[in-house]
Chain A
Amino acid sequence: MELLYKLLFISISTVFVQNFVLMRFLGLCPYIGVSKKLDSALGMGMAVIFVMSMASCITYLIQYYLLVPFGLEYLQTIAFILTIASLVQFLEMGIAKYAPALYKALGVFLPLITTNCAVLGVAILNIQSTWADGTPFNFIESILQGFFAGIGFTLVLVLMAGIREKLEYSPVPESLKGMPIAFIVAGCMALAFLGFAGFKI
């Protein structure tokens, strides 16, 4: 029962209440950059879900089995970013070799993910997050948070892409075309997501 409660809590709070893009401002560059077309948005989203879950898993192990026992917490930033960069590299090689179809769909997006701050963000947040009584997230909870953060990212990315495809045919004022209107639309979406805030389970 408690597990189910935690699952619900993590999923709803990371997908809606504390959405990584609209509420925490993480992963904005791909959000604005890759949201022009629906299918590329979907591809990017899938790649991010995958990398975020993997990164949460590995950085958790590094933090608690390498950095903490040796008192090296101050190397956290360096260790995490290097892990993520090499993880992305290995994933790219692995997928290209064993799942060419998947590689065709996700390949172009993988290198972009290294500089997606949402990935490093979720890795650090996993370590900082605590339950109301102060216990830190455990291994499974961290992976869940990574996975659902990816889902939340994909959700708003796909929604945004849908809106921007329609915007192409809308009479937008000349100087607001392109990036500026994308931000204003994002603002309206953030406004809608603000409605989820304070949601209690």
Chain B
Amino acid sequence: MRLKDNLLKGFVKENPIFSMALGLCPTLAVTSSLENSLGMGLASTSVLIGSNAIISLIKNFIPDKVRIPCYIVVIASFVSVVDMLMHAFLPALHKSLGLFIPLIVVNCIILGRAEAFASKNGVFDSLVDGISMGLGFTCSLSVLGIIREILGAGKILGFQIMPDSYQPMLIAILAPGAFITLGFLMGMIKMMQKKEK
């Protein structure tokens, strides 16, 4: 596979959220602001890169029958490492993401990429795949985060961008807003794809 294709696929063609509907829980739960979205996205990306690399390194050593438990152990250790590092060096972000850091383990994107890509390809390709998918995930989270933060608080990254007269739509940062925003975004993407055809 060509490097460029491999690097770009995570953003559009195989975008994990919008076209494959994977990893929905963190997508909806932490995107109430851009800051949280970026934090979650980058944490998942680093886990994804690490686990992809290690799994493709040891893929010949793991017997087929126990491969899923092995993948889970590798992923869970990376998640724990990221969890501890964030707790130590980014305590505020760690607090606002809370429960969803350990839950990166069960994010289907990560196990999915391990099974579908890293277990069949070389280390370098798997690294690139991890970067591409991870950043694609981060971008999608950020789009949702930006929309919800503007609508719900009138701010981006905590800076006021809407005029003072704007009455924030609280619903956008509450739970229902997450579902509805994602629903309409997916609909828009579907519409655009159809027009291209």
Chain A residues near B (Cβ < 8 Å): 22-29, 32, 74-78, 81-82, 85-86, 114-117, 120-121, 124-125, 128, 173-176, 179-184, 186-188, 190-191, 193-194
Q: Are A128 and B186 in contact (CB under 8 A)?
A: no
Q: Describe A's contact surface by its main secondary structure.
A: helix
Given A29-B24, A184-B180, A121–B175 Cβ distance below 8 Å? Answer: no
How many pairs of residues, A versus B, come closer than 8 Å at their CB atoms? 120
Q: A186: nearest residue on chain B (CB-CB)?
A: B179
B2 at the interface (CB under 8 A from A): no
Given A85-B69, A175-B190, A180-B187, A116–B179 Cβ distance below 8 Å? Answer: no
Q: Are B187 and A175 in contact (CB under 8 A)?
A: yes
The 8 closest A-B pairs by CB, nearest first: A183-B183, A187-B179, A187-B180, A25-B29, A184-B183, A180-B187, A175-B191, A190-B176
B55 at the interface (CB under 8 A from A): no
B76 at the interface (CB under 8 A from A): yes
Cβ distance B62 to chain A, nearest Cβ, rounded Å: 15
Q: B111: nearest residue on chain A (CB-CB)?
A: A115
Q: Are A82 and B73 in contact (CB under 8 A)?
A: yes
Given A77-B76, A183-B180, A120–B105 Cβ distance below 8 Å? Answer: yes
Interface residues on B, range: 35 or more
30 A-B interface contacts by CB (under 8 A): A24-B29, A25-B25, A29-B22, A74-B84, A76-B102, A77-B76, A77-B80, A78-B77, A78-B80, A82-B73, A115-B106, A116-B106, A117-B103, A117-B107, A128-B99, A174-B194, A175-B187, A176-B190, A179-B21, A180-B184, A180-B187, A181-B187, A182-B183, A183-B179, A183-B182, A183-B183, A184-B180, A188-B176, A188-B180, A190-B176
Cβ distance A93 to chain B, nearest Cβ, rounded Å: 14
Please give, as numbers and ranges, the residues of chain A lying within 8 Å of B175 by CB-CB distance. Answer: 22-23, 25, 190, 193-194
A65 to B125, CA, bound (A): 43
Q: Are A78 and B29 in contact (CB under 8 A)?
A: no
Chain B residues near A (Cβ < 8 Å): 21-22, 24-26, 28-29, 68-69, 72-73, 76-77, 79-80, 83-84, 99, 102-103, 105-108, 111, 171, 174-180, 182-184, 186-188, 190-191, 194
Q: Are B24 and A194 in contact (CB under 8 A)?
A: no
Cβ distance A194 to chain B, nearest Cβ, rounded Å: 6
Q: B30: nearest residue on chain A (CB-CB)?
A: A25
Please give, as numbers and ranges, the residues of chain A lying within 8 Å of B108 by CB-CB distance. Answer: 29, 115
Q: Are A187 and B183 in contact (CB under 8 A)?
A: yes
Cβ distance B172 to chain A, nearest Cβ, rounded Å: 11
Please give, as numbers and ranges, the residues of chain B lying within 8 Å of A191 by CB-CB distance. Answer: 171, 176
A182 to B41, CA, bound (A): 24
A82 to B72, CA, bound (A): 8
Q: Are A176 and B183 in contact (CB under 8 A)?
A: yes
